[in-house]
Amino acid sequence: MKQIAMVTGATAGFGRAIAQRLVHDGYRVIATGRRQERLDALAAELGPDLLPFRLDMDDAAAIAALPGSLPQEWRDVDILVSNAGLALGMEKAQEADIANWQTMISTNVTGMVELTRVMLPGMVARERGHVITLGSTAGTYPYTGGNVYGATKAFVRQFTRNLRCDLLGHNVRVTNLEPGLCGGSEFSQVRLRDNAKAEAVYEGTKPLLPTDIAETVAWVLSLPRHVNINEIEMMPVCQAAGGLAVARG
Ligand code: NDP
Ligand code: 8X3
């Protein structure tokens, strides 16, 4: 029987590439996001093994209604790929828009933990499952303007590590992926709200691509069931951690 994966944020970027890859690899995929027309297009592209399911990660009631609000034959979710997320703004903390901070926390942290909470009991009861979270190098390496975004991804890492402890003995795998610079998604357009500035982020680089993330997800899932990859930090070859900053004056 085909395994069922729920991929959040499947309307763009990593999530769309992960959904495409998993359907091609023989999984049934519940693809979520807010943009219904994108979900419908993915369903038209990938056929009956993809269920388009509109879900706003900031809608606590819709999350709480899961998995019961899914069609009966899609409720036994084996794999949760918690990918939906965003960065908003690059302003320094002392200048940042608090509404942006609230949205990042609400989506990347609150929605993510609520969804995890409702999906875990089924996995535990079936003694089978895999939770994959999308962290970021921004959760480890600080940079100017990374303030709350990086902090949400540090939360993702520690939450994912703690899940491993709670799920020990229940045959549920848990993995956190932490990519660095990755192009080919809408991440920088959403963050900077300016296409030219977003393009400039990747100028002269060969960044990771959403298909690289999908490849990594597929690999982590394909390993023998006794193998758990805890964390993967991945960067393009053109990126490395930088030095410390010094104020002179
Ligand atoms: P994109 O902007 O291309 O895609 C983000 C996805 O998240 C979209 O499908 C969007 O769907 C969804 N999303 C955002 N907010 C919500 C919400 N409130 N409810 C439901 N879905 C939501 O970004 P990426 O693919 O690049 O990023 C995916 C993940 O990877 C994010 O968590 C990001 O932080 C992380 N990441 C990205 C990196 C990069 O450089 N690109 C590097 C490291 C990590 P919709 O708008 O339709 O709701
Ligand atoms: C995205 C990577 O470096 O833009 O999480 O924060 S970065």
3-state secondary structure 95-150: CCCHHHHHHHHHHHHHHHHHHHHHHHHHHHHHCCEEEEEECCHHHCCCCCCCHHHH
In this structure, which residue's CA is closest to atom 14 in ligand 1?
85
In order of their start, the domains of the chain are: 4-234 (3.40.50.720)
The helix/strand/coil state of 63 is helix
Please determine, for residue 247, whether its predicted confidence score (pLDDT) is greater than 90. Answer: yes
* Cβ 136 under 6 angstroms from ligand 2: yes
* Residue 141 is a catalytic residue: no
Catalytic option among 27, 143, 149, 202: 149
d(CA 227, CA 101): 36
Q: C-alpha 157: how far from its chain's center? A: 12
Given 3-state DSSP classes, what are the helix, strand and coil percentages for the chain, each rounded to the nearest 5? 45, 15, 40
In this structure, which residue's CA is closest to atom 7 in ligand 2?
138
Tell me the per-residue pLDDT of 26-82, one tens digit each, with 9 for 90 and over: 999 999 999 999 999 999 999 999 999 999 999 999 999 999 999 999 999 999 999
| DSSP letters spanning 154-196 | HHHHHHHHHHHHHHTTTTEEEEEEEE-SB-SSSHHHHHHS-HH
Tell me the per-residue pLDDT of 153-206, one tens digit each, with 9 for 90 and over: 999 999 999 999 999 999 999 999 999 999 999 999 999 999 999 999 999 999
Atom from ligand 2 closest to the CA of residue 149:
6
Residue 53 has φ and ψ, to the nearest 5°, of: -140, 110
* Cβ 83 under 6 angstroms from ligand 1: yes
- DSSP label at 68? T
Please determine, for residue 243, whether its predicted confidence score (pLDDT) is greater than 90. Answer: no
In this structure, which residue's CA is closest to atom 38 in ligand 1?
182
